[in-house]
Amino acid sequence: MPFHRSLRIAEAIREVVASAVLFEVADPRIQGVTVLRVEVGQDLRTATVFVTVMGSDGEQATAMKGLRSACGFIQSRVAARLQIRYTPILTFKFDDSVKKSVEIGRLIDEAVAADKKAGAEPDDDEDPADDEPEAAPGGPESPNDDPEDA
């Protein structure tokens, strides 16, 4: 379980790296990069920065090379911002979770559309009476819940 201090340092590193990538790094290869999260080692000497890159696979590979090239500069920004004994050594990893979530959302939308299309055609297997919800005891049909009696 991560300690509170590790979480604070990871968040501070994420903020510094995101700001440096957005405003300070002049490398033209680093475009469309979003810093998602940072995981810090238990001894606080290593930090893995998870990023995503908008664009094609070639642009993603180019941006990752640019990030690895600018790692020393970004690490110096982290060292200037954080007042800790050891500056964590940064490593960048591509995180495709955003791409996966978009794909899953697309698949869900397709499944819902297919269900709606299939719902327009009656199935012989199902009894239409089973689809109607039954009134729960004390539900809105209960005479005790009539607002006019109150």
Q: What is the rounded distance in angstroms from the CA atom of residue 22 to the CA atom of residue 34?
A: 9
Per-residue pLDDT at 150 exceeds 50: no
Q: Residue range 125-132: average pLDDT?
A: 54
pLDDT at residue 140 in the model: 53
Instruction: Summarize pLDDT for 52-101 with one digit per residue, the tens.
Output: 998 888 999 999 999 999 999 999 999 999 988 999 999 999 998 888 88
Query: What's the fold here for domain 4-100?
Result: GMP Synthetase; Chain A, domain 3 (3.30.300)
Q: How confident is the model at residue 49 (pLDDT cuts 50, 70, 90)?
A: very high
**Res. 138 pLDDT band, cuts 50 70 90:** low
Give the other-Cβ count within 10 Å of 18's Cβ: 17
DSSP calls for 125-138: SS-GGGGSPPPPTT
Which letter does DSSP use for residue 149 in this model?
A: G
* The pLDDT of residue 46: 95
Estimate to the nearest angstrom the gap between the alpha carbon of 9 and the chain centroid. Answer: 20
Order of strands, sheet of 46-53, starting from the edge strand that comes earlier in the sequence: 33-40, 46-53, 89-94
Per-residue confidence band for 130, with pLDDT thresholds at 50, 70 and 90: low
